[in-house]
Amino acid sequence: MTSSLTVAIAVPLEAELVEQIRAVDPSVTVRYEPELLPPERFPADHSGDPDFKRTPGQEERYWAMLNSAQVLYGFPNENPAGLARIARENPHLQWIHAMAAGAGGAVKASGLDQETLQKFRITTSAGVHAPPLAEFAALGILNGFKRSAELAKDQAAKVWPELRIPTRLVNGSTLVVTGLGEIGLETARIARALGMKVSGTKRSVEHIDGIDHVVDNAGLPGLLATADAVVNTLPGTAFTEKLFNREVFAAMKPGTVFINVGRGTVVDEEALLEALDNGQVSYACLDVFAVEPLPQDNPLWEHPKVMVSPHTSALSAAENRLITERFCSNLRTFLDGGDLPHLVDTVHFY
């Protein structure tokens, strides 16, 4: 690709992981100035401490560092405005690696036109978050089947019910996964280990080992008629907005457990609330919402059949290491002139 390359690290990162990037190839110069970056408050806190402020001199150094590079690790200031600025100011920019799996939303929010977006590539960290998201989905399935919300309520009230209520058996039940990408397939793997039968959706319908039926979104209602649990992993696009509407929830059999680890815009929340109240959905485990943070007056907060997670299910102590490993692999591919994986679709923004 090039005889020499400069990589600038735009977000907080542990020193040993910076060295891991340096070790990819001797032709690569890695610029990393931790004093210019907000300290992490927790592992993989890519935005860092919001109270951190650069001096005018530090601000100038930060942008000079980023503008000297052909490759960026992270969006500048980890926000759409930073992406828009670097796209305008850095004529050498060839590639940015985003920390998020769903970086398309930030790219869209940057307001960059197609001509500008074609000047460099943006890759995501898709797949890095598959294990924690799939584990969270499994938690949601087990919570719904094993009545954990009712158990917690009884424990808080110190109630020992006279009538013992059976729980549902996960083994032998049916799961539908919307979006059989890396997250969906990892969810399916865990579900099969629990003894579940798995079907799901994919934009391009094809046979997938271990998946009973694969359909596109048009075939989703037919799958839902036999599903005991549904896990959504789909990104938020014009094609998926409010995919889970009244008609789709009505196609579910009564008592379905619903988990959303994709994007909140895929679900019509009013329709979900109706499905919860009429028993079509027996339990919902939600990590994402149409508006985030979830407004205080949103009824999902206090619904007895809902678990609210503040869009944190993808986070893990291993995240920085896993993203760095993905970036290093991509960097090797980039240096060798190969095709980068997980490019942001700048038309549909996912």
Q: Return the HEC string of 241-273.
A: CCCECHHHHHHCCCCEEEEECCCHHHECHHHHH
Q: Compute the distance between CA of residue 300 and CA of residue 275 in angstroms, rounded to an integer.
A: 12
Question: Which among 76, 52, 50 has a CA at the least distance from the CA of 62?
Answer: 76
Q: Is the peptide bond before 341 cis (omega within 30 degrees of 0)?
A: no
For residue 18 the two structure tokens come to: 């910076």
Provide the annotated active-site residues. 263, 292, 311
d(CA 111, CA 109): 5
Give strand ranges (E) for the chain. 5-9, 28-31, 71-73, 95-97, 121-123, 174-178, 197-201, 214-215, 229-232, 256-260, 281-286, 306-308
Count of helices and strands (H, E) across the chain: 12, 12
Considering Cα of 176, then 178, then 137, then 230, what sign does the dihedral take? negative
Long-range CB pairs of 115-118, under 8 A, 24+ apart, other chains included:
116/87, 116/88, 117/87, 117/346, 118/346
